[in-house]
Amino acid sequence: MAVDVVIIGMGYVGLPLAREAALRGLSVVGLDANPDVVAGLNAGRSHVDDLHDSDIAEMHEHGFRATSDADVIADADATVICVPTPLAEGGLPDLGPVNAAAASIAAYLHPGMLVVLESTTYPGTTDDVLRPMLEAGGLVAGEDFHLAFSPERIDPGNATYGVRNTPKVVGGHTPKCGARAVEFYERFIDTVVQTKGTREAETAKLLENTYRHINIALVNEMSRFCHDLGIDLWDVINAADSKPFGFQAFYPGPGVGGHCIPIDPNYLSYNVRARLGYPFRFVELAQEINATAPHYVVQRAQDLLNDRGMPMRGATVLLLGVTYKADIADQRESPAHPVAKHLYDHGAHVQFHDPNVETWRFQGHDLNRVADLDAALADADLTILLQNHREYDLASISRGARLLFDTRGVTEDGANVERL
């Protein structure tokens, strides 16, 4: 039976894409190598933040199913690769999952099929890595089948912009490939933007995240010298943000997290060094600044305790919010991990609370979150607000904490409150 699209990888990118396509009337099959993920989806259970079990049930009503059997690709008009590309040693993306997906597609590739890569990677991957694997069986991209790249733009926890109303960038191996990919995505996405080719689409994704990475590094560095100069950076940013043109507000914090911001710019930096022989200095400097943000937070925490006659060693430090972003459960690359490590290295007793996380795996074991937040605030020598989840009552936290270090600039000034 013909299938409109097989989406490979049922994670934070692939599953929301599958839902939107299914709800718009496409026949969709989710292909995932993890049998537990497949079993959960077929039983109506969601494993990503932005989708609930009711969303999966609605997908089933529209014919969605999940499988680990790659032979479903044989019946697909289109396949979309949404597998992870973690950072490997040396700054190169680990293309192992992409290569595995490509091998599965190559085994069932047929004339007229559209193949789209959505996994974030360095420029040239679609044409130089994916295309040769697909063409090994004799079919030629641009002639016998269509090949394109379309960067994912999923923003977990964003209630305003999702798959359907976020413009979709698409670049084809040839103009004909690009047109075929645009036609596919226009079936369930409001706006599709076509680039000249796959490399432009690949680089657009990296530019988006590099822009954010560099501007976050700028305010993270400003937060350090503003503190030393006695300047309230949060007030500075609010004042600058009153300008209706030429400025976009970015805010300092304990570090950057998730898959995109701390990782994607490195793909571009690696590619520039490997292919051109010189550094992408903005990215490398931003990486250096943002990577040291957790250490700076702990330095400030240590100073706060010292000012009150307490050493860090033996102090009880409560961390609030250990996810990389507010109002989600995702802990990938969360700055809470290096913050906790530095605190442990200084001899502190670390506790945590997060309304979205029941257990937090740290240094090889699970830490149970504190059960009574009010009691934990009263008992902790220092509380550090790392993530401003909407479930937190900031006024109550400020009143209840013996000493509060706010790394998000969201609390009011007070004798027991210090902001980054």
Active site residue 82: no
CA distance 149 to 115: 8
Token pair recorded at residue 213: 């990475």
Contact between 381 and 316 under an 8 Å Cβ cutoff? The reply is yes
Contact between 73 and 6 under an 8 Å Cβ cutoff? The reply is yes
Please identify which residue in the block is written with the tokens 């043109």.
Answer: 245
Token pair recorded at residue 166: 């976020």
Of these residues, 82, 177, 226, 260, which one is catalytic? 260
CA distance 101 to 285: 34
Token pair recorded at residue 19: 């839902």
- The pair phi, psi for residue 345, each rounded to 5°, is -65, -25
Please identify which residue in the block is written with the tokens 């904490």.
Answer: 401
Which residues have CB under 8 Å from 126's CB, separation 6+? 117, 147, 148, 149, 171, 173, 198, 199, 202
Token pair recorded at residue 17: 């894409």
Catalytic residues: 260
